[in-house]
Amino acid sequence: MEATPQEKLFEYLRQIIFEEEPQSIQIKELPEDLRDLGSGLQLLDLWMGEVKRLSLALSDGDLDADQPRPDNVLADPLKSLQATMKHIAWQAKQISKGDYSQKIDYMGEFSMAFNDMTLQLSEKQEALEKSRDDAIKAKQMLQEVMDGLERYFIILGEKDQRVRYENDAFRKLQAVDPKFAEQLKIQTCSGISGPREMKRKWEIEIQTEKGDGQQGNRYFVVDANFLLWNEEPVIACIIEDISEERRKEQKIQEVAFFDALTGLHNRRYIMAILEKWLEEADPFVVTFIDLDNLKFANDEAGHEEGDKYIKQAADLLTSVKGTTEVARIGGDEFLLLVKNCSEEELHQELEEKRTKLFQMGQAENAFYLKSFSYGIVEADSLSSSRYRSELLREADKRMYEYKMKNKPRIKRSTEEKL
pLDDT tens per residue, range 293-346: 999 899 988 899 999 999 999 999 998 888 899 999 989 999 999 998 888 999
Per-residue pLDDT at 194: 65
C-alpha 10/C-alpha 22 separation (Å) is 12
87 membership: H or E segment, kind and range: helix 76-96
- Whether residue 273 sits in one domain with residue 406: yes
- Whether residue 260 sits in one domain with residue 228: no
Q: Which residues contact 392 (CB under 8 A, 6 or more apart)?
A: 106, 286, 288
Per-residue pLDDT at 414: 37
Quote the Cα angle for 365-367-373, to 5°: 100
Torsion of CA 62, 63, 69, 75, to 10 degrees: 90
Per-residue pLDDT at 381: 44
Residue pair 48/17 in contact (Cβ under 8 Å)? The answer is: yes
Number of domains in the chain: 3
For residue range 81-113, what is the model confidence (pLDDT) as tens digits? Answer: 777 788 788 888 888 888 888 887 767 787 788
C-alpha 70/C-alpha 51 separation (Å) is 12
- Whether residue 261 sits in one domain with residue 188: no
Per-residue pLDDT at 143: 52
SS3 319: coil
Burial tier of 344 (Cβ tally within 10 Å: 0-12, 13-18, 19+): exposed
Residue 233 belongs to a domain with what CATH number? 3.30.450
* 398: in domain: yes
- Whether residue 284 sits in one domain with residue 241: no
Which among 156, 198, 108 is positioned nearest to 392, based on CA atoms? 108
Quote the Cα angle for 309-319-371, to 5°: 35
* 181: in domain: yes
Residue 324 belongs to a domain with what CATH number? 3.30.70.270
Q: Which residues contact 6 (CB under 8 A, 6 or more apart)?
A: 34
C-alpha 277/C-alpha 284 separation (Å) is 8
- Whether residue 364 sits in one domain with residue 300: yes
* 329: in domain: yes
C-alpha 264/C-alpha 115 separation (Å) is 29
How crowded is the C-beta side of 411, counted as CA atoms within 13 Å?
A: 5
- Whether residue 295 sits in one domain with residue 235: no
* 133: in domain: no
* 110: in domain: no
Chosen domain end from 205, 226, 247: 247
- Whether residue 282 sits in one domain with residue 243: no
- Whether residue 213 sits in one domain with residue 318: no
> What pTM was estimated for this model as a whole?
0.43
Residue pair 220/203 in contact (Cβ under 8 Å)? The answer is: yes
- Whether residue 390 sits in one domain with residue 353: yes
- Whether residue 366 sits in one domain with residue 299: yes
Residue-by-residue DSSP string for 102-158:
----SSHHHHHHHHHHHHHHHHHHHHHHHHHHHHHHHHHHHHHHHH--SSEEEEEET
SS3 78: helix
* 140: in domain: no
Kindly give the parts of the chain with pLDDT less than 50.
135, 139, 212, 214, 381-385, 411-418
* 116: in domain: no
- Structural domain boundaries, residue 153: 148-247
Q: How many residues does the chain have?
A: 418
Per-residue pLDDT at 111: 77
Residue at 129: amino acid letter: E
Residue pair 326/258 in contact (Cβ under 8 Å)? The answer is: no
- Whether residue 382 sits in one domain with residue 263: yes
Chosen domain end from 190, 212, 247: 247
Per-residue pLDDT at 201: 85
* 107: in domain: no
- Whether residue 265 sits in one domain with residue 243: no
Chosen domain end from 61, 77, 92: 92
